[in-house]
């Protein structure tokens, strides 16, 4: 990474925690979905994860990180965080809740430390790709390092 390139908050947090990562950049003028990103990076879908933010009946926010081609199972996700039910937050609220924008949202370095659950398949992978905290940037790192950085736990949370 050249000195001129700016680092995102997520990258600074990874470095502060002495977690090594690799930056992958892709062309992005506006939001694009994770499948398109994986295709641009020529990476298998099961290695690229998306970050979803939900609101529980308790009015607490919860973060779920799942493979990009999968769909969050709201019932399993609610059970994983001890809620009766959860719902996705509205796109317009992403920045207010997380400090990130749609497409650049990552569980590393949100405004608050929300309870984060990562789909259990992450444990079977050598490395994973997650948003680097800005559109056009993905970071690749070890699953155990990602879990440490986002204080995540594992559960079966997809349909």
The CATH fold of domain 24-155: YbaK protein (3.90.960)
Residue-level pLDDT at 149? 95
The first and second tokens of residue 27, run together, are 């062309």
E strands, the chain, in order: 22-25, 49-56, 61-67, 86-88, 115-119, 128-131, 137-141, 152-155
Per-residue model confidence (pLDDT) at position 2: 44
The secondary structure of the chain in percent helix, strand, coil, rounded to multiples of 5, reads 30, 25, 45
Q: What is the mean pLDDT of the chain?
A: 92
What local confidence, expressed as pLDDT, does residue 159 receive?
Answer: 94
Instruction: Provide the whole-model pTM.
Output: 0.93
Our CA angle for 77, 39, 119, nearest 5°, is 20
CB 24 within 8 A of CB 41: yes
Contact 19, 145 (CB under 8 A): yes
Q: Which runs of E-coded beta strand occur in 19-114?
A: 22-25, 49-56, 61-67, 86-88
In the numeric block, which tokens belong to residue 98? 């997380």
Residues (pLDDT < 50) of the chain are 1-3
Q: Where are the domains of the chain?
A: 24-155
pLDDT of 87 reads: 97
Collect all residues with Cβ–Cβ distance below 8 Å to 121 and sequence separation of at least 6.
46, 67
User: Could you say which DSSP state residue 68 is in?
Assistant: T
């Amino acid at each position: 990474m050249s000195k001129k390139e700016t680092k995102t908050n997520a990258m600074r947090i990874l470095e502060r925690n002495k977690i090594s990562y690799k930056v992958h950049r892709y062309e992005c003028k506006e939001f694009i979905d994770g499948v398109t990103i994986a295709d641009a990076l020529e990476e298998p879908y099961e290695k690229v994860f998306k970050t979803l933010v939900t609101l529980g009946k308790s009015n607490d926010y919860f973060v779920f990180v799942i493979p990009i081609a999968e769909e969050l199972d709201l019932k399993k996700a609610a059970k994983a965080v001890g809620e009766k039910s959860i719902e996705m937050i509205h796109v317009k609220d992403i920045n207010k809740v997380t400090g990130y924008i749609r497409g650049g949202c990552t569980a590393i370095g949100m405004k608050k430390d929300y309870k984060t659950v990562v789909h259990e398949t992450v444990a079977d992978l050598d490395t994973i790709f997650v948003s680097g905290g800005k559109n056009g940037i993905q970071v690749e790192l070890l699953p155990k390092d990602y879990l440490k950085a986002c204080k995540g736990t594992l559960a079966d949370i997809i349909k």
